[in-house]
């Protein structure tokens, strides 16, 4: 999936028409249609703005790789907070130890009981 298909996928996932997305960026209504048809290519600044809007990386927008759903808004906010870094590093460490999600949930429940005392 290339940029044209990825942009269309993300736009539709948000439930936006081409006209609505263009309006959100102050573009002429035909601009998004031209991006999605491949008749026009956005500049780097526009790619950056589109990536921010859809909460994905520029790399995700332009590379030919399988589409991944962006993180839900609440997780995006959590990941963006500096105070979340220790938790993210812990999650990475647990994943590298090949703990499955159910084991992590059980560990979380034990910690919750322990901290309530």
Total domains in the fold of the chain: 2
Same domain, 58 and 78: no
91: left (phi over 0), alpha (psi -120 to 50) or beta: alpha
| Residue 10 shares a structural domain with residue 43 | yes
Q: Which helix (H) or strand (E) holds 56?
A: none
**pLDDT of residue 115 exceeding 60:** yes
* Three-state secondary-structure class, residue 46: helix
Same domain, 46 and 17: yes
Question: What pTM was estimated for this model as a whole?
Answer: 0.56
Residue 106's domain comprises 73-115
Q: Tokens 């520029």 label which residue?
A: 58
**What is the average pLDDT value for the chain, to the nearest integer?**
86
Does 42 map to a domain? yes
pLDDT tens readout for residues 51-104 = 999 888 888 888 876 555 667 778 878 877 889 888 888 888 888 888 888 888
């Amino acid at each position: 999936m290339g940029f044209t298909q990825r942009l269309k996928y993300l736009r539709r996932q948000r439930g936006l028409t081409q006209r609505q997305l263009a309006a959100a960026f102050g573009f002429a209504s035909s601009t998004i249609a031209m991006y999605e048809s491949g008749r026009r290519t956005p500049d780097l600044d526009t790619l950056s703005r589109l990536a921010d809007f859809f909460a994905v990386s520029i790399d995700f927008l332009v590379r030919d790789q399988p589409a991944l759903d962006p993180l839900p808004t609440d997780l995006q906010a959590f990941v963006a907070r500096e105070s979340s870094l220790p938790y993210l590093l812990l999650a990475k460490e647990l994943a590298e130890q090949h703990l499955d999600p159910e084991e992590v949930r059980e560990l979380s429940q034990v910690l919750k009981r322990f901290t309530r005392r």
